[in-house]
Structure 1
Amino acid sequence: MDFDEIVDDVGRAVDLAGVAIIVCGAVAATAVFVSRLLGRRQALPDLYRLYRQNLGRTILLGLEVLVAGDIIRTVAASPTLGSVAVLAAIVGVRTFLSLSLEIELEGRWPWRKAAAGVDRDRV
């Protein structure tokens, strides 16, 4: 097994971890939502908002891990101009998705500080 094969396998393993994070996180967020829904400890709009936040955080983490896998496979294994351009496009799209999700979850730009005294519900 040569270096390129090892790097490709590591990149695929990181990609698999990213997908697993998204799937497991989505299942966990759904389980928490259903549990709270059946327990009716909170109003439905609040439960839905928390569900979306938990699901969004899971997707953000998974996207970050998937970007790491892309970087490992593209830059370490085959750093051609074409592969780096494809990587740049993939990272650009995933960064846009991450930024959009962050704004959706927090209700503000990521570089803006949270308002003093605001306690965001987190699970």
Structure 2
Amino acid sequence: MATQDLMNVYFDIIARILEMLGVSAIIAGAAFALFEVVRNLVRGWDGQKIFDLFRTRLAKSILIGVEFLIAADIVGTVIIEPSLDSLGTLAMIVLIRTFLSFTLEVEIEGRWPWQRGRNRHEDD
């Protein structure tokens, strides 16, 4: 087997591991968020507070998962299959997943990312 073929096999394995980590992060985060819902229901917490916490926990796990999936796409597309078509496909996938990450971040924080610094100084 040629060195390039062997490298492609290794990078393909790395891309698949990153994909599994991404999916695992989403599944584990969802399971943890659901566990917290049940625990907080038993404790008698307010339903709105439980719902808000669930959404935040779930969104954070999705964000982490998406980051792993983007990394897997980069490794799989750029290193294993370097072509203009695959690069265009990667650009679209990264654009969509970045938009998803951005909107989830806004959902979690409750403000635009560029407002973060201003709010920090207002709290001081």
TM-score (norm 2): 0.89
Give the aligned CA root-mean-square deviation in angstroms.
1.5
**Cα offset, 1:105, TM superposition:** 1.1
Count of residue correspondences: 117
Aligned mates of 1:92, 1:82 — CA distance in 2: 15
Matches within 5 A, 1:16-27: 16-27=20-31
**Cα offset, 1:76, TM superposition:** 1.0
**Cα offset, 1:117, TM superposition:** 3.5
Q: Among residues 26, 32, 35, which one is paired with 1:28 in the alignment?
A: 32
Q: What amino acid does structure 2 have at the position aligned with 1:60?
A: L
Q: What amino acid does structure 1 have at the position aligned with 2:81?
A: S
Structure 2 portions without partners, runs of 5+: none
Partner of 2:108: 105
What secondary structure sits across from 1:79 in the alignment? coil
What secondary structure sits across from 2:116 in the alignment? coil
User: Does 2:100 align with 1:85?
Assistant: no
Which one has a bigger Cα radius of gyration?
Answer: 2
Partner of 2:11: 7
Partner of 1:57: 60
Aligned mates of 2:19, 2:108 — CA distance in 1: 24
TM-score (norm 1): 0.89
Which whole-Å deviations, capped at 9, do the CAs of 1:3-30 have from their partners, x for residues lacking one? 1111111101110010000001100111
Which whole-Å deviations, capped at 9, do the CAs of 1:37-96 have from their partners, x for residues lacking one? 1111x2110110011001000000100011001101111111100001000000000001
Identity of aligned residues (%): 38
Greater fraction of residues in helix: 2
